[in-house]
Structure 1
């Protein structure tokens, strides 16, 4: 079965999942630190898998361990593979069950919107009620499996993206951010796609995503992306572009910062996953999420051959992941939808 899937499609699917997991794992020990603290505490630029320091909230995690970012994405992927299409109830159940299995509540490894919503769901709130306050980036970072399955149908892609967000990140802001990421990944899967194609799709996704969810005040994310791209165009050197993103766009878990910075990193690094991940890991702030989003998009664009396989293998071993199997199952589901809807 594996031999029939050694194709460009599989390389892109695998690259997307590898980019997500590797970015998450490499960013795990540097999360919550400033760029200066990262350089000082780790002896320079982090370019490999490292253990968090003893003073870090994730102290005790082994080098290569992923966080809730990858965990939630895999939970969504498994729900999709089992049921073929998401509903708010399926997403809510998948996330609550995942949180229980990994003791996410006890370990404190959940973002604020997700933690609040999952506790509300456990107390009997409906998915629509639980996610009304979610404005952070948890919906955007777990959206890759949805993009991989529904990349050929814009309407389904947007609808399923919104549903995947609703139980924890049900605001127009959070869904707009997730839609920007899912649209970027979908565009990156197209053979011959360029960085410009990916960013154009992200912009369209940000606009379309605002048709879903509970209204909230927010800068328009497509305009925010325009601003980020204009800012980096002022500088010739990558280091200056990275510093400008940190200072002028930001690296916090709010989507107006982290998701836009992740998208801008795709441009800064020419869509190459390893440089995008490494730059994100050393930027400070919500490093694991920024690196996971940038890694997933760039991985879908360039494919699995663009990765350091030694690093990826360590992440899979430490977390008992089989990304190739998951990629094949998601690719098969996508082909099922292609046949059903004659994409």
Structure 2
């Protein structure tokens, strides 16, 4: 695939001078803002979104059912909208806290030893509940699976994801893995596959690896939307690779998301097991397969191309796509944020989301930047030790 570059935000803007700190901040803040923008319209179609809002969503909006959000189905009892982040951000920040504890690369055992206790024993402010509660009380059933399998079932962490529904649950919070492995997408892919093994299997686990790789690739100096997609295609396997290629081939022909919405959905549909009615999944939904893919990752990458890497255009395209658009916007927001830093994210959106969600959106970035630097130093020392040992073993050539 050789996607064309639409008239992009990044066309005349080099990303080479952005520091690690700026890219990590851009990715984590960008993911949270994308999540908050997508939350209130999650599950609806582009047509329903346009009808409800009198046109496309262009910023932060209120709950779908207005003041009736506490009781209106199928959303109740969650206050989605008004700048509230969802479980995508709650899980992302939880993974950052695990990195902050371990201070090194993570694996499936890190999920069992640190992420599970964080989810089930430490109350935090939950924006959608407007209350302090355990994160376990908010996360979706596919994420509760982690606690069920690891805490109650005592499963091998490396295999705990087997049997769970296959969805984007792991991919939606894997950006931190890409950031700790900034500019090394191959390492990000491998680490994310290990971490996600405690949560997902099949193409859900694969999506987690590819998303982490995309974020790591976006941190590379001189990275572009096309280079990020190219990296993903080089690493992705089976249906995930085929879906990314199909969607991005279509996306490359558009520079505005409005005209791309239907063609992109048509391109991903053959790989999506959920089916046309997002709230009424098909009988074959979310089952392991080598032929299928989650919908969210290919669409996020496609919107990155349509938006030319511009944060606002990329994320608004993701939001107005509908369906699981909070996760799509979380993923595309993380990648676009890593490409261009927080400077590319509308400041008013950042402030509204931080205030409404009662979150310090910058604190996780500071922690993860420290961990990324420490981990790189350890990696360099480990690499030098290996080089020395191998040289001794191999002898002179």
Q: Which residue, out of 346, 353, 375, partners 1:337?
A: 375
Cα distance, 1:98 vs structure 2: 4.2
Relative to 1, partners in 2 of residues 1:77 and 1:240: Cα closer, same or farther, differing over 3 Å?
same
CA contact (8 A) 1:199 1:263 kept: yes
In the TM superposition, 1:92-131 aligns within 5 A as: 92-100=112-120, 101=123, 102-107=133-138, 109-110=139-140, 112-126=141-155, 127-131=157-161
Question: Per the alignment, in what secondary structure is the counterpart of residue 362 of structure 2?
Answer: helix
Cα distance, 1:234 vs structure 2: 4.7
Q: Which residue, out of 174, 178, 201, partners 2:204?
A: 174
Cα distance, 1:64 vs structure 2: 1.1
CA contact (8 A) 1:95 1:118 kept: no
Relative to 1, partners in 2 of residues 1:43 and 1:96: Cα closer, same or farther, differing over 3 Å?
farther
Cα distance, 1:340 vs structure 2: 2.4
Give the TM-score normalised by structure 1: 0.86
In the TM superposition, 1:1-343 aligns within 5 A as: 8-52=19-63, 53=65, 54=69, 55=72, 56-58=74-76, 59-61=78-80, 63-84=82-103, 85-100=105-120, 101=123, 102-107=133-138, 109-110=139-140, 112-126=141-155, 127-134=157-164, 135-153=166-184, 156-169=187-200, 171-207=201-237, 219-235=238-254, 238-250=257-269, 255-342=293-380
Relative to 1, partners in 2 of residues 1:62 and 1:150: Cα closer, same or farther, differing over 3 Å?
same
Unaligned residue ranges in structure 2 (runs of 5+): 1-16, 124-132, 279-285, 287-292, 384-397
Cα distance, 1:106 vs structure 2: 4.1
Cα-to-partner distance string for 1:112-148 (whole Å, 9 max, x where unaligned): 4323343233323322343103421111110111111
Cα-to-partner distance string for 1:37-58 (whole Å, 9 max, x where unaligned): 1112222211222232233515
CA contact (8 A) 1:183 1:204 kept: no
Cα distance, 1:306 vs structure 2: 0.6
RMSD between superposed Cα atoms in Å: 2.4
Relative to 1, partners in 2 of residues 1:120 and 1:229: Cα closer, same or farther, differing over 3 Å?
same
Relative to 1, partners in 2 of residues 1:246 and 1:193: Cα closer, same or farther, differing over 3 Å?
same
Question: Per the alignment, in what secondary structure is the counterpart of residue 158 of structure 2?
Answer: helix
Relative to 1, partners in 2 of residues 1:94 and 1:63: Cα closer, same or farther, differing over 3 Å?
farther
Q: Distance in 1 between matches of 2:190 and 2:312?
A: 31
Q: Distance in 1 between matches of 2:189 and 2:81?
A: 36
- Match in the other structure for 1:211: none
Q: Distance in 1 between matches of 2:194 and 2:358?
A: 28
Q: Distance in 2 between matches of 1:307 and 1:268?
A: 17
Aligned residues: 324
Unaligned residue ranges in structure 1 (runs of 5+): 1-5, 208-218
Question: Per the alignment, in what secondary structure is the counterpart of residue 359 of structure 2?
Answer: coil
Question: Per the alignment, in what secondary structure is the counterpart of residue 177 of structure 2?
Answer: helix
Higher relative helix content: 1
Q: Distance in 1 between matches of 2:255 and 2:349?
A: 30
CA contact (8 A) 1:181 1:205 kept: no
Higher mean C-alpha deviation, range 150-159 or range 285-294: 150-159
Give the TM-score normalised by structure 2: 0.75
Q: Distance in 2 between matches of 1:167 and 1:298?
A: 27
CA contact (8 A) 2:111 2:198 kept: yes
Cα distance, 1:223 vs structure 2: 2.0
Q: Distance in 2 between matches of 1:321 and 1:156?
A: 30
